Amino acid sequence: MEWLILLCLNFVFSQNGDLLVLKVQHREENDVGAAMDEIIKVNEFHASHINDGSNILREGDIAVSTGRRNKVCFARSCLWSKSVDGYVYIAYNLSPEYSEVETNLIKKGMENIEKDTCVRFVPRTHQRDYIDIQQKSGCWSYLGSRGGRQTVSLQSPDCLQVGVISHEFMHALGFVHEQSRLDRDNYVTIMWPNIWRDRLRNFEKFRTDTLDLPYDYRSIMHFGMYAYSQDGEPTIVPKNKKNIKLGQATSLSHIDKLKINNLYKCGWY
Say if residues 141 and 231 touch (Cβ distance below 8 Å).
no
Query: Residue 177, annotated ligand binder?
Result: yes
Find the catalytic residue in 38, 59, 168, 178.
168
Say if residues 122 and 92 touch (Cβ distance below 8 Å).
yes
Catalytic annotation present for 100: no
- Using the 8-state DSSP alphabet, how is residue 181 labeled? B
The H or E element spanning position 255 is helix 254-263
Which residue in 217, 226, 211 sits closest to 264, CA to CA?
A: 211
Query: Hey, what amino acid is at 14?
Result: S
The H or E element spanning position 9 is strand 5-13
How far apart are alpha carbons 115 and 201 in whole angstroms? 33
Start-to-end CA distance of the chain, whole Å, equals: 40
Query: Order of strands, edge to edge, in the sheet holding 119-123?
Result: 55-58, 62-65, 139-141, 149-154, 130-134, 88-94, 119-123
Query: Residue 171, annotated ligand binder?
Result: yes
Residues with a known catalytic role: 168
Binding site: which residues? 167, 171, 177
Binding site for Zn(2+): which residues? 167, 171, 177
